[in-house]
Amino acid sequence: MKVLVTGGAGFIGSNVVDLFIENGHDVVIVDDLSTGRKSNINSKAKFYQIDIRDPGMREIFASERPEVVDHHAAQIDVRRSVSDPRFDADVNILGSIRLAELAREFGVRKFIHISSGGAIYGEPVYLPCDEAHPVQPLAAYGASKYAFELYLYLYKETYGLDYTILRYANVYGPRQDPLGEAGVVAIFTGQMLQDKPVVINGTGEQVRDYVFVSDCARANLICLQGGNGGVYNLGAGIGTTVNQIFDQLKAITGYPLEPAYGPPKSGETFKIYLDSTHAKDELDWKPSVSLEDGLSRTVDYFRKTEL
């Protein structure tokens, strides 16, 4: 099967690409390398360096004729979405609609859209959040991710474009950027391995649901054939505080310092974790990597590759 993966040089997308190729699929990567890395690109994939909003995307669809689009490319910085919601919408809504239009024009069978289980629900009414939880995002990022979910439903009903929506929790693991604006596991790991000060925004009692990147990649593989028309949370279903992440990484790395605490960041949910029962029931998916094991794997990767 030929799959076009947007954002396929990024942290999560490149792990998805690798798993697709391991399972015999033909992969085309589209990535503008604004946050992705050339070193993440699988040598067996065909690569185009291009923004998803670029008119040149039409030529790529025309020549490659993918059967499935797996859409990971996005503006992912929650704080930037608060300060510049127009840019966020331009990439995450208008750029995604452009892809859906090309998928319709060139006969793509299915569109897999990566949404956000950590941002679209806002401050939860109940926990864990299932897919029926009210959508009340606190930042433009969550709003834009959910907006395109609605467009995909429209494209299926109007044009027959099938889809699956995956709402990720907080994904962590190898290839996450230790210098990025998102991803406390990578940021803390990078700082700890160099004995640099670690700053926790707010009290550190913020609760998140952490899921290892290989588990998310496996869900994408399943959805090449399954989950048509479905919306699925992907999370561990366990709430973990930022302070707990710090303590576990401190123990794994042997970090000698205590954290500093800074002001909280706007637009971020304080406490959330996800109910992934729907994915278990319909996709036979559940996390296979524990947080302890995943953090150890991540630290090992950073020791060997990043530092």
3-class DSSP assignment, residue 25: coil
Calpha distance 123→73 (Å, rounded): 25
Selection from 230, 217, 272, 274 nearest residue 110 by Cα: 230
Q: Check residue 304 and report its DSSP letter.
A: I
Identify the active-site residue in 121, 141, 168, 273.
141
Collect all residues with Cβ–Cβ distance below 8 Å to 34 and sequence separation of at least 6.
51
Please state whether beta strands 207-208 and 68-71 pair in parallel, antiparallel, or not at all (unpaired).
unpaired
Tell me whether residue 301 is one of the annotated catalytic residues. no
Residue whose structure tokens are 């859209």: 113
**DSSP single-letter state for residue 271:** B
Alpha helices, DSSP H, located in 205-257: 213-223, 242-253
Element (H, E) at 301: helix 291-301
How far apart CA 45 and CA 210 sit, in angstroms, is 29
Active site members: 141
